[in-house]
Amino acid sequence: MRLMPSDGKFYEMFHEQVKNVHEASGKLITLFENYHDVEKHVSEIKFIEHKGDQLTHELMMRLNKTFITPLDREDIHALSSALDDVLDLIDGVAGRLITYKVKSVSAGANQLARVILHGTEILVEAISQLEKPTKIIEYCEQLKHLEAEADRIKGECVARLFENSVDPIEIMKWKEIYEVLEATTDKIEDVANVLESVILKTT
């Protein structure tokens, strides 16, 4: 079922946005699992984030110039903004590794980054179906479960941090990193909520 037979360019632009987000999450995993050349990898993620800002700007400019849109205008704005928020937080995690002079990445942080990567994989699939939605609601449910899993992992990571670390500075640094990683999955769930709202309006 097509949501509306109008300008399909918006679907292409959303797909480009989400692929860019997925690329950033892949770069984060590469960095976490092979923790070397940190500044190089962080710069690559920053480049992807800048590209994301440009994609968001282009989509908003098109929205302002388009009289008839394939989705409600507020949904287009909300979806694009939510995708950009995910990318901003991935970039935020990467940047903190340099700011806080992180020497190695914990297993818990790696777990959370894996959840983010899985979430962006599902987002790519979901957004690819926007024109002809068949499984988007199912994908949204998967993303909600992932967010709950990330919340559980973060709780365990913070608990271990307070149990095992004696350096208050390290506790503060890693607590914030865990929180930003988990917040990224919150933003992925926000994208799912927008998608779910779009689909429910058409059924």
DSSP character string of 22-47? HHHHHHHHHHHHS--SHHHHHHHHHH
- Show Cβ contacts of residue 200 under 8 Å, excluding neighbours closer than 6 positions: none
Spatial separation of the C-alpha atoms in residues 77 and 56, rounded to whole Å: 9
Task: Determine what percent of the chain falls in helix, strand and coil, rounding each to the nearest 5.
Answer: 80, 0, 20
Spatial separation of the C-alpha atoms in residues 173 and 182, rounded to whole Å: 14
- Show Cβ contacts of residue 191 under 8 Å, excluding neighbours closer than 6 positions: 79, 82, 83, 86, 123, 143
Please report, for the chain, the start and end positions of each structural domain, with discontinuous segments joined by +.
9-201
Structure tokens of 202?
A: 């058409």
pTM as predicted: 0.93
Task: Tell the CATH topology of 9-201.
Answer: Methane Monooxygenase Hydroxylase; Chain G, domain 1 (1.20.58)
The pLDDT score that the predictor gives to residue 4 is 42
**Which of the four pLDDT bands, split at 50, 70 and 90, describes residue 6?**
low
89-146 confidence digits (pLDDT tens):
999 999 999 999 999 999 999 999 999 999 999 999 999 999 888 899 999 999 999 9
**Which of the four pLDDT bands, split at 50, 70 and 90, describes residue 69?**
confident
CB crowding 64-85: b at 16 or more within 10 Å, else e:
eeeeeebbeeebbbbbbbbbbb
**Higher confidence at residue 163 or residue 201?**
163
13-42 confidence digits (pLDDT tens):
999 999 999 999 999 999 999 999 999 999
The pLDDT score that the predictor gives to residue 1 is 38
The pLDDT score that the predictor gives to residue 67 is 82
Q: Are 34 and 72 in contact (CB under 8 A)?
A: no
Alpha-carbon dihedral 170, 173, 176, 177, rounded to 10 degrees: -100
**Helix or strand run (H / E) with residue 151:** helix 136-164
Query: What is the DSSP secondary structure assignment for residue 112, as one 8-state letter?
Result: H
